[in-house]
């Protein structure tokens, strides 16, 4: 969705001292701080997922035939066979541990969303600055290509091209299988994501070009790259930060949606989306298949959004609470 507006609004002219102001504002926002802590925890959990699984004694790949019925393959016990051995129950038909799958899913989800965000921000910033500063034909060309990209039904394109492009990646030397698939996800998300940020940045740059310090720099005969990245970039971090913090959660959701539609990681690995897709066949009997990954996913996204909001408000009190 056209997140641009809200972010553009949220982007005040960044003064040097703003950094501290923002931090202090965020620090005084209890909700934001709680979320920040949760996020850090989530990242730690993701990073140390294998270790944690060992400690709890669960394994996302181990098939536990004993935990499922021999006829129909339904998990034995309520709520998907929740037991001491399987705190969140087991998968229908295979007896794989749900908790372990969640932890590893979190890992993949965060990996994709985070890297995609980083790339998006990089692309958006650089292209935005260039197009805003260079103006003229460059600007026009970039503008057109943005229109082009934004006009694509990106979900459809991503789905349609996943197969072939993943193969291309492997043929380009990326290890076959999940590495290529994950990379594909990261790339497509970034490719369809950068224009929004680029537009914002471009706008900022346009307004900034006329500013004294830039003109001064030009007058002093500074070289363009220097002006771009020494004078202008430092003053863009505010909108960029806001955009990044609000984009990450949308990427998490999108990634889930994509793997729900079946272009996620390959088995035996799994992800939130895949788990939810799998739950469809069983949830009228085993609702927990639906609730557990779903709730985790929502919590993840909400937490990110809360932090994003806090940052935005900190940067732009007008948009936030008085």
Partner 1 sequence: MSSYVVRRVLSMLLLLLLLSLVVFILFSILPTDPARLTCGKSCTPEIIEANRHRLGLDLPVFQQYWEFLKGLFVGRTYAANSPDPINCSAPCLGYSFRRGEEVLILIKDGLPTTIWLALGAFVFWMVAGISLGVYAAIRRGTWRDKTVMGVGLVGYSLPSFFIGLLAIFFIIIKWNLLPYPSWVPPQEDPVGFLQTMILPWIILAILYAAFYMRLTRNQMLEVLGEDYIRTARAKGLPERTVIGKHALRAGLTPIVTAAGLDLAGLLGGAIIIESLFSLPGIGSLAITSVNDADLPVIVGITLVTATFIIVANLIVDLLYAAIDPRVRLG
Partner 2 sequence: MGIAKKGAGVVVIGAAAALVLSACGGGSSSSSSSGGSEAKAGGTLYYLANAEQFDQIDPQRIYTGEDLAFFSGTIYRTLTSYKFSADPTEGTSVVPDLATDTGTATNGAKTWAFTIRDGATFQDGNPITCADVAYGVSRTFATDVITGGPTYAISMLDIPDDPAGGSAYKGPYVGTGQELFDKAVTCSSDNKTITFNLKRPVPDFNYTTTLLAFSPVPKAADTGEKYGDAPVASGPYMIQENKNGKGGKMVLVRNPKWDKASDDYRPALPDSWEVDYGIDPKVIDQRLIKSAGVDATAIDLTVEPENLSVVYVNPNEAQPQFAGRAVSALDPYVRYFAINTKKVPNLKIRQAIAVALDREALRKNAGGDFSGDYADGVIKPNMGADYAPTGMWDTLLGQKIPDAGDPEYAKKLISESGEAAPTITFDYPQSPTADKAAAIVVSSLGKAGITAKPNPIEPGQYYGIVFDPEKAHELINAGWGPDWPNASTIIPELFTPSGGFNLSQYDNAEYTAASDAAKIETDRAKQAKMWQDLNTQAMKDVVVVPTRFGRTQRLAGTQVNQSQVYLWPAYGSWPYGAMSAN
The residues of the shown chain that bind partner 2, judged by CB under 8 A, are: 61, 63, 65, 68-74, 91-94, 96, 163, 176-177, 260-262, 266-268, 274, 277-278, 280-286
Residue 74 vs 134, nearer CB to partner 2? 74
The partner in contact with residue 72, picked from partner 2, partner 1, none with C-beta cut-offs of 5 to 8 angstroms by kind, is: partner 2
Q: Is 68 helix (H, G, I), strand (E, B) or coil?
A: strand
Q: Is 282 helix (H, G, I), strand (E, B) or coil?
A: coil
Q: Give the nearest distance from C-beta 299 to partner 1 in angstroms.
A: 9
**Separation CA 215–CA 322 (nearest Å):** 36
From the list 245, 305, 314, 315, which residue makes contact with partner 1 (rule: CB under 8 A)? Answer: 305
CB 92 within 8 A of CB 73: yes
Q: Is 219 in the site for partner 1 (CB under 8 A)?
A: no
Q: Give the nearest distance from C-beta 92 to partner 2 in angstroms.
A: 7
DSSP state, 232?
I
Site map (CB under 8 A) of partner 1, residues 227-256, x = contact = ----------------------x---x--x
**Separation CA 207–CA 203 (nearest Å):** 6
**Omega prior to 229 cis, within 30 of 0:** no
Q: Is 151 in the site for partner 1 (CB under 8 A)?
A: yes
Q: Give the nearest distance from C-beta 170 to partner 2 in angstroms.
A: 10
Q: Give the nearest distance from C-beta 188 to partner 2 in angstroms.
A: 17
Q: Cβ of 119: how many Cβ atoms within 10 Å?
A: 17
Sequence-distant (6+) residues with CB within 8 A of 311 are 22, 26, 32, 241, 242, 245
Binding window for partner 1 (CB under 8 A); candidates: 2-10, 53-61, 73-81, 127-135: 2-10
Region of residue 177 (phi > 0: left; psi between -120 and 50: alpha; otherwise: beta) = left
Length of the chain: 322
Q: Is 266 in the site for partner 1 (CB under 8 A)?
A: no
- Which tokens sit at 275? 């788990």
CB 162 within 8 A of CB 263: yes
In the complex, which residues of this chain contact partner 1 (CB under 8 A)? Answer: 1-3, 5-6, 9-10, 144, 147-148, 150-153, 155-157, 159-161, 163-164, 167-168, 249, 253, 256-257, 260-261, 276, 279-280, 283-284, 287, 290, 294, 297-298, 301-302, 304-306, 309, 318-319, 321-322
């Amino acid at each position: 969705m056209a997140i641009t507006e809200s972010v553009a609004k949220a982007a005040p002219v960044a003064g040097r001292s703003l950094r501290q102001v923002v931090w202090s504002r965020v620090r005084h926002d209890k909700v934001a701080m709680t979320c920040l802590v949760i996020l850090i925890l989530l990242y730690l959990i993701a990073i140390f997922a294998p270790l944690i699984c060992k400690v709890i004694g669960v394994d996302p790949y181990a098939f536990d035939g004993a935990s499922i019925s021999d006829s129909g393959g339904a998990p034995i016990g309520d709520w998907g066979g929740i037991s001491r051995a399987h705190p969140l129950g087991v998968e229908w038909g295979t007896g794989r541990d749900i908790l372990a799958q969640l932890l590893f899913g979190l890992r993949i989800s965060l990996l994709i969303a985070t890297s995609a965000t980083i790339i998006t921000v990089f692309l958006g910033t650089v292209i935005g600055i260039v197009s805003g500063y260079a103006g003229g034909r460059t600007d026009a060309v970039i503008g057109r290509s943005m229109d082009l990209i934004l006009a694509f039904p990106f979900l459809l394109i991503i789905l349609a091209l996943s197969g072939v492009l993943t193969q291309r990646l492997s043929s380009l030397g990326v290890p076959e299988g999940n590495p290529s698939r994950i990379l594909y996800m990261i790339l497509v998300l970034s490719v369809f994501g950068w224009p929004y940020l680029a537009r914002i940045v471009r706008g900022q740059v346009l307004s900034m070009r006329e500013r004294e310090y830039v003109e001064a720099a030009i007058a002093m005969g500074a070289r363009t790259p220097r002006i771009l990245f020494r004078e202008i970039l430092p003053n863009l971090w505010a909108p960029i930060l806001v955009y990044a913090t609000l984009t990450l959660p949308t990427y998490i959701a999108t990634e889930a949606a994509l793997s729900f539609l079946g272009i996620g990681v390959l088995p035996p690995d799994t992800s939130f989306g895949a788990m939810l897709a799998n739950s469809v066949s069983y949830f009228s009997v085993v609702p927990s298949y639906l609730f557990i990954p779903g709730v985790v996913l929502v919590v993840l996204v909400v937490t990110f959004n809360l932090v994003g909001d806090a940052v935005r408000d900190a940067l732009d009190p007008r948009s936030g609470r008085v």
